[in-house]
Structure 1
């Protein structure tokens, strides 16, 4: 979600009451918010064109390949299409873009298996994994994930292999987890027929239920709604070497974005 707000905030930031919004200007503004981009194009539809002087555009379409929101994390493909965007003109004149009406967008991400495995080695993802507080004992004591490896499997399933290291004793345990993925009501991630092996031994059902509940709770998009963002996953599909996710996002006026 942080990546999406980077894109949308960059879009709002280039709507200027002093001049027209140009596709090239928008593309440059978005590139400046990313670590790097292999291919990126932006198309802005506006009729009449002087609407930009009033802080309004009809529609924005973004298409990109090989986008790096941060170093080491690559998005293979991205497509974004927004509804009309309207900003508060007084706030815009002060250089503080603020939505006057909700911003809605359809978003399509494609992530490859190779790119996800590279991302697992990045510091950003490593920090997110540490926040999961993975514990083999079912207690609050967290273990560190070392050398995680992700594999895509048929039937929308994936396998994650990693070593868990106890931060206090240094003891290491090999873990292999396999599961299917499904979004419930478009907002909550559900793990389908999950299995976990610890040092080749199948995890007890009670511990498995605890771990599944922890993951599902953390990956619930309704958690974003208090901050003014509504997000729903419309389609989630795993193929031989890529994961495709199509979603809808709505951002309410007054939502804090990182300008």
Structure 2
């Protein structure tokens, strides 16, 4: 990881997305089995679906299938497979995912331990074997740009900007932030920033446009490539853009989640003019006795 003096621009991506980690959804999913009154399959399906609906901001369509052979396995903490298909899912308010599908391998967990609060750490402690599966997610450009204009998400992005800028740098307010999906895995960005002016001074406005490509390396990291950008219609130097790219790429390596016992690999990532299409594999390892 680069140090503050290394010259790289760093982003605390793990902190920014910490409140919205997908593994928290899986914690909810597993915990819902505890509330099932009977292990009959369709009732377990209903309990899981209702619990998920209660824990997200909204969902337009949701289908859940829990496979158990024999049917009494859930009371032993065992499930053969979970399949979830959704459309119009909002994990947080104003962030719409056009479609989200999840399928797991067999699960085996301790029902008593999973009842204890503690998020991912307690979930890992309850696992008797790794919890793994794959998901397919599609996000539309229009939905993402609507999210970027919503107050709750805009506040989080403003906080991220404030963290990136060094303490001695001027403060900037985000006036506009828009993403443009382009062919061949390229992404465009339009940003308008207003500099906070001292009393008696006029505030400056910065208009930034950028275009960048990306590629997946080894399934575990996303690399930004061929970044070009302008500031108030003047091209930014490639040296600066190179440092910026290196700093961001450091944070787009999925290895940053491995200290939480989460292994993730990107199987597919395609961007076109309308949608971002992602397929990924995940595995949550049981907590080892040596871990604190």
Q: CA deviation at 1:144?
A: 4.0
2:239 aligned partner: 206
**In 1, are the aligned partners of 2:130 and 2:285 still within 8 Å (CA)?**
yes
Indicate the SS of the match to 1:127.
helix
Which of residues 46, 64, 67 in structure 2 aligns to 1:45? 67
Quote the Cα distance in structure 2 between the aligned partners of 1:187 and 1:171. 40
2:137 aligned partner: 109
| Higher mean C-alpha displacement, 86-95 vs 183-192 | 86-95
**In 2, are the aligned partners of 1:183 and 1:233 still within 8 Å (CA)?**
yes
* Aligned CA distance change for structure 1 residues 140 and 251 (closer, same or farther; 3 Å): farther
User: C-alpha root-mean-square deviation of aligned residues, in Å?
Assistant: 2.5
2:181 aligned partner: 152
Which of residues 26, 42, 55 in structure 2 aligns to 1:33? 55
Q: CA deviation at 1:142?
A: 6.2
**Counterpart check, 1:15 vs 2:33:** yes
**In 2, are the aligned partners of 1:130 and 1:145 still within 8 Å (CA)?**
no
* Aligned CA distance change for structure 1 residues 48 and 142 (closer, same or farther; 3 Å): farther
* Aligned CA distance change for structure 1 residues 183 and 118 (closer, same or farther; 3 Å): same
Quote the Cα distance in structure 2 between the aligned partners of 1:220 and 1:208. 19
Indicate the SS of the match to 2:286.
coil
* Aligned CA distance change for structure 1 residues 116 and 93 (closer, same or farther; 3 Å): closer
2:3 aligned partner: none
**In 1, are the aligned partners of 2:33 and 2:47 still within 8 Å (CA)?**
no
Q: How many residues align?
A: 253
The answer to which structure has the higher strand fraction is 1
Which of residues 223, 229, 245 in structure 1 aligns to 2:278? 245
The answer to which structure has the higher helix fraction is 2
Quote the Cα distance in structure 2 between the aligned partners of 1:158 and 1:120. 15
**Counterpart check, 1:65 vs 2:94:** no
Q: CA deviation at 1:27?
A: 0.5
* Structure 1 gaps, min length 5: none
**In 1, are the aligned partners of 2:268 and 2:278 still within 8 Å (CA)?**
yes
1:185 aligned partner: 218
Q: CA deviation at 1:128?
A: 3.9
Structure 1 length-normalised TM: 0.88
| Higher mean C-alpha displacement, 186-195 vs 228-237 | 186-195
Quote the Cα distance in structure 1 between the aligned partners of 2:171 and 2:70. 57
**In 2, are the aligned partners of 1:120 and 1:126 still within 8 Å (CA)?**
no
Quote the Cα distance in structure 2 between the aligned partners of 1:125 and 1:43. 35
Structure 2 length-normalised TM: 0.79
* Aligned CA distance change for structure 1 residues 129 and 154 (closer, same or farther; 3 Å): farther
CA deviation string 1:122-179 (max 9, x = no partner): 32354146425556x9x86664432111111111111010112334564211000101
**In 2, are the aligned partners of 1:6 and 1:33 still within 8 Å (CA)?**
no
Indicate the SS of the match to 2:33.
coil
